[in-house]
Amino acid sequence: MSLEPLHILGPDGVLVADPPVPMDRTRELYAQMVTARGYDRKASAMQRQGRLATYAQFEGQEACQIGAVAPLRPADWLVATYRDAAAMWAHGYPWLNLVLGRTGDERGGRPPEGVRVLPPSITVGGHMIHAVGIAWAEQIKATDAVALTLFGDGATSEGDFHEAMNFAGVYRIPTVFVCQNNGWAISMPRERQTASDTIAQKADAYGMPGMLVDGNDLLAVVAATAEAVDRARRGDGPTLIEALTYRMGPHTTTDDARRYRHDDDVAEWHPRDPLERVRRYLEAAGRWDAAWQSELEEAAAEAVEDAVATAEGMPAFTSDEIFAAMYETPTMALLEQQRLAHRDESR
């Protein structure tokens, strides 16, 4: 079975098909990608300074993430993973929360009220079915909200992927599954995750459309997800989108990717950079200049620095606070343990 990936904007910044959004919107999405990359690089640097805990970089996947959530409305839900900070931010999850989470603070998981983004899933694969359940609830409540879930190629090996896809297929749940196939699951290449030619073709077995898309092509990702979101919203069921991309960095800051892949492999992907092609496209249309670029990059770095400073300025949880969000009302058992914690700490 072969599927051809959807391309709209070539690596040279020249359109090969009609764009799904007008130039102004492309400019906004480009600004989001630049901001996201600024966050990613700054966060990686701050992790090396010991100011953040383990960090999972997403460099190279900005088009997948910004493009995937671009068609969502605020009432739509996003259920994503530890590598999806760009998508989460673009759908309303503040940098401060993302940074707080990376400093090792539970308050990072509490976005402002009304932001329909779950805290990032840390275990691989268990979260896709949550998007199905959420979308199912919206269907039962007869709203037109949909749920979009992001996951990697590795997650498709988990049994949970099958269960989520199967439930969504059987009940035509308004879910959009977006697999960012970035080529690697820690040290294992995509070929060791599945023997099928593509991940997108797996959709066929679940009775839903599968789409293969150039994941480094912002406009292609926007076009594919917009189609899938519309399909879900009008009641025509779920879609699986496989976005072909590349993890330019290691799995996380704890990992040395040179142990399992050559720099040459990574170098092949540099010319396909998702930001550069949009920049060229905008420049050719007279909608990009270096001053704007620096402005965006500086603002992003500043936003991250501010978020880290704010996070670091927040006092760490006291022993009382670790007990405070286990139940709506703490149980007698927890209240007693809280007293024991006080007693032991006073020694």
Partner 1 sequence: MTELNVAQALNAALDEALAAPEVVVLGEDVGRTGGVFRITDGLQERHGSDRVIDTPVAESGIIGAAFGMAVAGLRPVAELQFMGFSYPAVDQVISHVGRIRNRSQHRFTAPMVIRIPYGAGIGAAEHHMESAEAIYAHTPGIKVVAVSNPRDAKGLLLAAIDDPDPVIFLEPIRIYRAVKGEVPDEPYRVPLGVAAIEREGTDVTMIAYGAMMREVRAAADELAGVGISAEVIDLRTLDPIDGEAIVDSVRATGRAVVVQEAHRTAGLAAEIIAQIQEKALYSLLAPVERVTGWDTVVPLRRAEHHYVPTVARITAAARRTMEG
Binding site for partner 1 (CB under 8 A): 77, 79, 106-107, 109-111, 113, 118-119, 123, 126-127, 129-138, 140-141, 147, 159-160, 163-164, 166-167, 170-171, 325-328, 331-334, 336
Query: Of 23, 74, 79, 82, nearest to 285 (Cα)?
Result: 23
The separation between CA 159 and the C-alpha centre of its own chain, rounded to angstroms, equals: 21
Q: Report how far residue 1's alpha carbon sits from residue 36's, in angstroms, rounded to the nearest whole number.
A: 35
Q: Report how far residue 235's alpha carbon sits from residue 246's, in angstroms, rounded to the nearest whole number.
A: 33
Please say which residue, 55 or 206, places its beta carbon nearer to partner 1: 206
Please say which residue, 20 or 152, places its beta carbon nearer to partner 1: 152
Please say which residue, 86 or 164, places its beta carbon nearer to partner 1: 164
Q: Report how far residue 24's alpha carbon sits from residue 12's, in angstroms, rounded to the nearest whole number.
A: 20
The catalytic residues are 247, 251, 260
Please say which residue, 144 or 297, places its beta carbon nearer to partner 1: 144
10 Å CB burial of residue 16 (0-12, 13-18, 19+) is middle
> What is residue 93's DSSP assignment?
-
Q: Report how far residue 257's alpha carbon sits from residue 248's, in angstroms, rounded to the nearest whole number.
A: 10
Cβ–Cβ under 8 Å, residues 44 and 55: yes
Shortest spacing between CB 140 and partner 1, in angstroms: 6
